[in-house]
Amino acid sequence: MSDGRLLSVKMRASREGEHVSGAERIVSPAAAPETAAALVRRALEHSKGTPDFIALKVAETGGVLRIKALPVATEAATTPSEGLAIAERLLREAGVQRACEVIEMIVDAKPMRGAMLVDADTLERLEPDRARGVRATCMDAAGTQGRLPPSSKNHYAEAIVLASKVAAAPGIIAEICISDDPCYVTGYVASRATGYHRITCMKENGDGRGGRIFVCRGIAGDTSETIRFLEETPVLVEDIPALEGMRREERFAGIERELDAIRSSGLWRETRIMEPHHGPFAVLGGREVAVLASNDYLGLAKDPRVMEAAAEATRRFGAGTGGARLTTGTQPLHAKLEERLAAFFGSDAAVAYATGYMANVGAISALAGKGDVILSDELNHASIIDGCRLSGADVVVYRHCDMDDLAGKLSLCGGCRRRLVVSDGVFSMDGDIVPLPRLLDLCSQYDAFSLIDDAHAVGVLGATGRGTAEHFGCPRADLTVGTLSKALGSEGGFVCTSKKLADCLVNRSRAYIFSTSPAPASVGAAIEALRILEAEPDRVEKLRAKTACFAAELRNRAIAAETQTAIVPVAIGDERKAVSVAARLLERGFLIPAIRYPTVPRGKARLRVAISAAHDSATLAAAAEAIAVSSS
Ligand code: WAQ
Ligand code: MG
């Protein structure tokens, strides 16, 4: 069968001179433009980071050689030494008597773009450029010439093509490969004699070293024909075996390796059982501790009136609603809550969600989609980031609270269908505040929608706890997201906005449409909490005074502490140190958690203290002293 004209499309990406990603295809001319675009996209989205240089090469292939894929087998290994022993045996079966030394060579290999070309009998290295190695290129799977490349690397699919071509090269009798991807521990040994043997563990998880060796015989005098075949002869590989399902143990061994990596980098997490006690105290492991970690900023979660409202709502309306808002899940309480929220925040309408997370995910993905652009602060909460991802819009991240950077980026988005700027009102990890007036100015200047997540601002900022807009004395964003779960002591999220945008959320927000409506207890409690906040605004002032007093106690002990909100971060840095400081604090009777990657960047671990209006001054002073002692 003739292939018609085929083009080779190659992409190579690097950053600061270091290789980031590379991929190639052989495709029909019609598929070439989209293939090129897809490969560039793949480079830009590579997990190793954004490249600063991408080279794209599109060339005629000339006559294409078709070869059959090697047969595939999988060898289960659970440790690197087990895997390397299997590799050694397979190399020997392929005729490499000095297999043991070849294994040593690959384990000690320096990073290279290509493979070592090693003589089976003398172990002499034959590649002309030892730093680069020999590269096998100009190959692809047969039957995919009109198809787009997959959006991310499929290790097996690419390796079987490469290994099949290499095995067909003149003089090559075997190949061994270990990926340089830190998370990919499966490697292989391949040869015409034995086929392609995947070996499920060739190195420790997290190890970024890898390498390839092409073992040859009889070409030491002249390697040019072999190298020309590897680098220039276009090859399509036919009948690539579908990967048989991995055995169950190996599937779970992969999970175990991931968990081990989390453990060994100090990032392990697990739940702990806390029994609420009086006020901001809890019983943990049989002992009473002061909790300086709760988002119950105003102590309303345990206010008897709020608790009774929850109980009363349950008695009247049931434990659950049994339906989504647009089916059977809207009860009188839900309508009342939304009315009260809109009135309290001075907006036309409010839409309630089951959680704050869902409010962000739901609102952002309802408002922005393909063809739109979302501008998002780099320190936004995970729920905002997830909403951006789910929306399918282009996401442009601007520097934290940097309005000049935002202005510059907005000025480049004029041609997009819709622009949406999203930011936390109060940033959850540092407790700092968005420069809202400037952000709103930019939104009107550049005709963008604005969404502010006031989860940590409601009940905290502004004279009466109405959030960032009240704090600055400026108008509200187009959408203000808030939560019922923090200062309001209940559970759930909401969006305050215009009638039109509320209609948009109700009709388009999948997190709203496809989840069961909030339980009557949560809604009843939230309505009562909102009533109390409105009737007793001095609670907000009390919280502010408590926070100021705690920050002063820290500063008296030479610990930097600055905050305008109820969140007081105490910088530590190293993840493991942060965890051990938190453990010492717990021994002293204070629950103050260590916040680590991925919640904050690596190396920026910290203690995160959250103050409540319910804390007493003696407890706060004692906590400051315990922090000073435990972190020194
Ligand atoms: N030609 C020669 N050597 C290469 C090439 C190439 N085109 N590409 C990479 N290498 C060398 C280089 O030294 C790399 O460090 C090393 O090989 C590993 O490359 O069935 O992903 O691209 O699941 O990291 C094996 C799949 C995946 C096993 C191998 O290799 C399976 C892999 P990587
Ligand atoms: Mg790699």
Atom of ligand 1 nearest to the CA of 112: 13
DSSP secondary structure, 459-481, as one string:
TTSSTTS--HHHHHT-PPPSEEE
Per-residue pLDDT of 304-316, as tens digits, reads: 999 999 999 999 9
- Residue to probe by mutation, ligand 1, list 158, 177, 199, most atoms within 8 Å of CB: 177
Instruction: Retrieve residue 100's tokens.
Output: 């043991």
Using CA atoms, how far apart are residues 69 and 160, in angstroms rounded to an integer? 7
Atom of ligand 1 nearest to the CA of 137: 7
Q: Is the pLDDT of residue 2 over 70?
A: no
Contact 460, 540 (CB under 8 A): yes
- Residue to probe by mutation, ligand 1, list 172, 179, 196, most atoms within 8 Å of CB: 179
Contact 68, 239 (CB under 8 A): yes
Residues in the chain, how many? 632
Q: Is the peptide bond before 111 cis (omega within 30 degrees of 0)?
A: no
Place of tokens 């060339």: 59
Q: Going by CA atoms, what residue is nearest to atom 29 of ligand 1?
A: 179
Per-residue pLDDT of 81-92, as tens digits, reads: 999 999 999 999
Catalytic residues: 428, 456, 486
Q: Is the pLDDT of residue 45 over 90?
A: no
Ligand 1 geometric centre to CA of 4 (Å): 30
Note every long-range contact of 259-268, with CB atoms under 8 Å and residues 24 or more positions apart, other chains counting. 260/205, 261/205, 261/206, 264/206, 265/206, 265/575, 266/575, 266/576, 266/579, 266/596, 267/575, 267/596, 267/597, 267/598
Ligand 1 geometric centre to CA of 228 (Å): 19
Per-residue pLDDT of 11-30, as tens digits, reads: 999 999 888 888 999 999 99
* Mean pLDDT value across residues 617-626: 96
Element (H, E) at 235: strand 235-238
Residue type, position 107, single letter? V
Ligand 2 geometric centre to CA of 90 (Å): 23
Per-residue pLDDT of 152-175, as tens digits, reads: 788 999 999 999 999 999 999 999
Q: Going by CA atoms, what residue is nearest to atom 22 of ligand 1?
A: 179
Task: Give start and end residues of each alpha helix (H) in 94-223.
Answer: 99-107, 155-167
DSSP secondary structure, 107-139, as one string:
HTPPP-SSBEEEETTT--B--S-TTT-B---SE
More confident residue, 63 or 122: 122
Q: Which ligand is nearest to the CA of 139?
A: 1
- Residue to probe by mutation, ligand 1, list 18, 75, 155, most atoms within 8 Å of CB: 155
Burial of 184 (0-12, 13-18, 19+ CB in 10 A): middle
Tell which residue, 476, 529, 536, has the closest CA to residue 346: 476
Q: Is the pLDDT of residue 469 over 80?
A: yes
**End-to-end Cα spacing for the chain:** 75
Q: Which ligand is nearest to the CA of 159?
A: 1
Q: Look at residue 1 in the predicted model and tell me its pLDDT.
A: 43
Q: Going by CA atoms, what residue is nearest to atom 9 of ligand 1?
A: 114
Q: Going by CA atoms, what residue is nearest to atom 5 of ligand 1?
A: 114
Ligand 1 geometric centre to CA of 253 (Å): 22
Q: Look at residue 247 in the predicted model and tell me its pLDDT.
A: 63
Using CA atoms, how far apart are residues 11 and 21, in angstroms rounded to an integer? 8
Instruction: Give the torsion sign (CA, 435, 436, 442, 447).
Output: positive
Residue 3 banded pLDDT, cuts 50, 70, 90: low
What are residue 282's phi and psi, to 5 degrees? -145, 160
Element (H, E) at 450: strand 449-453
* Mean pLDDT value across residues 399-403: 97
CB atoms within 10 A of CB 290: 23
Contact 213, 102 (CB under 8 A): yes
How many CA atoms, within 13 angstroms, populate the side-chain half-sphere of residue 383?
22
Ligand 1 geometric centre to CA of 211 (Å): 7
Q: Which ligand is nearest to the CA of 48?
A: 2
Burial of 181 (0-12, 13-18, 19+ CB in 10 A): middle
Q: Going by CA atoms, what residue is nearest to atom 31 of ligand 1?
A: 156
Per-residue pLDDT of 341-397, as tens digits, reads: 999 999 999 999 999 999 999 999 999 999 999 999 999 999 999 999 999 999 999
Question: Residues lining ligand 1, CB < 6 A?
Answer: 112, 114-115, 133, 135-137, 155-156, 159, 162, 177, 179-181, 184, 186-188, 198, 210-212
Proportion of the chain above pLDDT 70, given as a percent: 98
Q: Look at residue 383 in the predicted model and tell me its pLDDT.
A: 97
* Mean pLDDT value across residues 237-249: 79
Using CA atoms, how far apart are residues 234 and 67, in angstroms rounded to an integer? 11
SS3 62: coil
Using CA atoms, how far apart are residues 536 and 144, in angstroms rounded to an integer? 68
Q: Going by CA atoms, what residue is nearest to atom 18 of ligand 1?
A: 179
Tell which residue, 543, 549, 605, 596, has the closest CA to residue 280: 543
Q: Look at residue 260 in the predicted model and tell me its pLDDT.
A: 84
Contact 539, 352 (CB under 8 A): no
Q: Is the pLDDT of residue 250 over 90?
A: no
Place of tokens 């809207």: 330
Q: Look at residue 246 in the predicted model and tell me its pLDDT.
A: 57
